[in-house]
Homo-oligomer: A and B are copies of this chain.
Amino acid sequence: MSDAVVLDREDVLADKRSLFSLPSNTVYLDGNSLGALPTACKQAAQAVVEHQWGDDLITSWNKHQWIDLPSRVGDKIGRLIGAKAGQVVCCDTISTNLFKVLSAAIKMSPERKTIATTKDNFPTDIYMAEGLLSLLGDEYRIQFIDENDVASQLHDDIAVLMLTQVNFRSGRKQDITAVTAAAHEKGILTLWDLAHSAGAFAVHLDEANADFAVGCTYKYLNGGPGSPAFVYVAERHQARYQQPLSGWMGHSTPFAFSHEYTPHDSVKRNLCGTPGVIGMQVLDAALSVFDNTDMALIEDKSAKLQAYFLAKLEAHGLAESFTLASPAAAERGSQLAFSHPEAYAICQAWIDKGVIADFRAPDILRVGFAPLYLRFADIEHAVNELALIVNNKTYLRSQYQVVNDVT
């Protein structure tokens, strides 16, 4: 009996895999880019399109409580990131939500003019901050700080510290509690991008005394391609929080069609336009895979899957040629990054063998671990295939050398 079989037998989350519809003959190590399909989403998509929209039409806003969807789904996400009810709302995209929070946060400390972030933050976060600055004027600036030592670089002109908890390339994970405490000591508000955190491991926003967070739902939350994002605003900030994308759905009484904008007395003031109901109902169904579990168990399984992957790599003699570009276990999220000069071609050859991972420029092979649907046997198979590709040098074939992937 292989060690993978033993580990799968001992896995307390093993039953969760049956809640997903996974393609056969595939090991999916890209759940950190687009999560797999929870089977419940099929029925949910059909129900919202055929029954709610088709049969009940406009009356569904009441009958099927579409109007409450952003809060209902938001609270479900909140439970997975350590936020008690009433602090998370589901809406728009992570980029748009980041713009809202950043705008609101920077106005809360009017004497401070700096947004601090890391150079290797996910690019869209920086682009959005730059877009905001183009409106705010010349006295505002972005300062790039070293992601390896955030606390020591904080100073009194920083209004907002905007960090992605897990680096999208390396998988390096920031300690929300420690960094938030260091920021607060300097009077700095924190904005956490949880794109690679939510659903992957335990996050404790309330406990960490975090101020704001945003996240997407199409990675470890398995909400589907381009599923709607979320925003967290700590309760203590909500009354003072004013965001500029003040669309009608964030109004206290949107259907009064009032001339005056009066923001909703809650985190719902982050809502802007009409919510994407179809995508949000599908996401709502997707979140059901997290019922009756605990993020600590998911985090634990992720650590074991990663350790097992590394052990197998070592056993195949591949640990030297694939340089681990991720930090140690305690300091990384639910992914492993390896630098290899032929990373792109190897990734393509691996995909052809049914093992889906992804490549990140310039030379990173990125392996994501989605604990709810990955088995240890999948990891064993994936590394076996990798060893064959490397040992037989199949990745040198010309079709793997052409860079044409958009993702």
Which residues on A are within 8 Å of B, measured CB to CB?
21, 23, 26, 28, 30, 33-34, 36-37, 41-42, 45-46, 48-50, 52-62, 66-67, 92-96, 99, 103, 119, 122-124, 126-128, 130-132, 134-137, 216, 218, 224-229, 242-249, 251, 254-259, 261, 272-280, 282, 351, 356, 358, 360-361, 404-407
Kindly identify which residue among B67, B119, B247, B275 contacts A406, using a CB–CB cutoff of 8 Å: B67
CA distance A111 to B251 in the complex (A): 32
Number of copies: 2
Known: A45-B278, A247-B128. A273 touches B95 (CB 8 A): yes
- For A34, the chain B residues whose CB sits under 8 A away are 53, 57-58
Closest 8 CB pairs of A and B: A93-B273, A95-B247, A225-B277, A131-B244, A124-B248, A95-B273, A37-B54, A131-B246
Which chain B residue shows the least CB distance to A69? B226
Minimum Cβ distance to chain B for residue A3 (Å) = 27
Known: A137-B137, A255-B406, A279-B279. A50 touches B42 (CB 8 A): yes
Kindly identify which residue among B244, B275, B407 contacts A134, using a CB–CB cutoff of 8 Å: B244
- For A351, the chain B residues whose CB sits under 8 A away are 59
Minimum Cβ distance to chain B for residue A367 (Å) = 13
Identify which of A92, A95, A130, A225 gathers the most chain B CB atoms within 10 Å of its CB: A225
Known: A54-B37, A130-B246, A134-B244. A356 touches B59 (CB 8 A): yes
CA distance A139 to B229 in the complex (A): 34
- Say whether A128 contacts B245, CB under 8 Å: yes
- For A48, the chain B residues whose CB sits under 8 A away are 225
- For A273, the chain B residues whose CB sits under 8 A away are 92-96, 124, 226, 229
CA distance A96 to B99 in the complex (A): 11
A–B pairs, 29, beta carbons within 8 Å: A28-B57, A30-B57, A30-B58, A33-B58, A37-B49, A37-B53, A41-B49, A42-B50, A42-B54, A59-B351, A62-B404, A62-B407, A95-B249, A96-B245, A99-B245, A122-B248, A123-B251, A123-B257, A124-B273, A126-B261, A128-B272, A130-B246, A130-B261, A131-B246, A131-B261, A134-B242, A225-B277, A254-B406, A257-B361
CA distance A272 to B127 in the complex (A): 10
CA distance A59 to B407 in the complex (A): 8
